[in-house]
Amino acid sequence: MELNDATVLITGTSRGIGRALLGAFAAEGATVVGCARDEAALEEAVTEANAEADGHVEGVVADVQSERAVADLIDAAIRAGDSDAIDVVVANAGVNHGTPGKMPIESEPYDRFDDTLATNLRGVFAVAKEAHGVMPESGRLLVPSGSIANEPTEGMGAYAVSKAAVEGLVRQFSVDVPQTAAVVDPGIVESDLSGPGGRDPADVAPMFVWAATGADAEEIDGGRVDLRTWKRATRSR
């Protein structure tokens, strides 16, 4: 897939990986629409990305927990592009309400558990559900996750549960819709969600661009793109 003149929708773009993806996709010629709940942080991220990518980026304030807000977001993304389609969706919006490593599942408050799943699982569902009808069959849905979804880690609570659940959601979309749906695992990235000590989000942003463009659609559909897969595929380039 070529990104020149394509439309890319990214959720959760006020910080971390989502923020880095705004400029990374726009640099490839795409029209990029990012969303976040924090208007000031979103505006700052969009301004920064446009300075790097010569004005291909727009921001929309939206909360993925609201299906109405998501539907309006999809409409805004279509209006921003040159066609009536969204070519790539990165459902990146996520929350983690505790301190990584200090959230034993038996101690999770009900409201914190519910809110984590509402964003990290239901929010991805809403974005994928509303978007797939306006995506071409060649379109791609990418969802960030990590080893925590499959390898239990002490004290990761509802966040770990949400990642395991969302990977199941991606697999179901891969068999029920014509578009490609895949999990992207960039390893540990410096963020509020996973804690300090990880990779710079800007260093893994090209991995998502490759998953949207260079990766073989049949090979990644319903699967996981990890760092090893990306590096092996792009080593000779």
68 CB-near residues (< 8 Å, 6+ apart): none
Q: Supply the mean pLDDT for the chain.
A: 94
**Number of domains forming the structure of the chain:** 1
Model confidence pLDDT, tens digit, residues 162-179? 999 999 999 999 999 999
Q: What is the reported pLDDT for 203?
A: 95
Residue 2, in any domain of the structure: no
Q: What tens digit of pLDDT does each residue of 75-119 get?
A: 999 999 988 899 999 999 999 999 999 999 999 999 999 999 999
Q: Is residue 124 part of a domain?
A: yes
Residue 92: give the domain boundaries.
Answer: 7-234
pTM metric for this prediction: 0.95
Sheet holding 7-11, edge to edge: 57-61, 31-36, 7-11, 88-90, 140-144, 180-185, 224-226
In a domain? residue 177: yes
- What would the two tokens of residue 25 be? 């996709």
**158 lies in some domain:** yes
pLDDT interval class at 236 (50, 70, 90): low
pLDDT for 17-63, tens place per residue? 999 999 999 999 999 999 999 999 999 999 999 998 876 999 999 99
> Taking Cα atoms as reference points, which of 159, 50, 57 lies closest to residue 102?
159
Residue 1 lies in a domain: no
pLDDT tens-place string over residues 38-49: 999 999 999 999
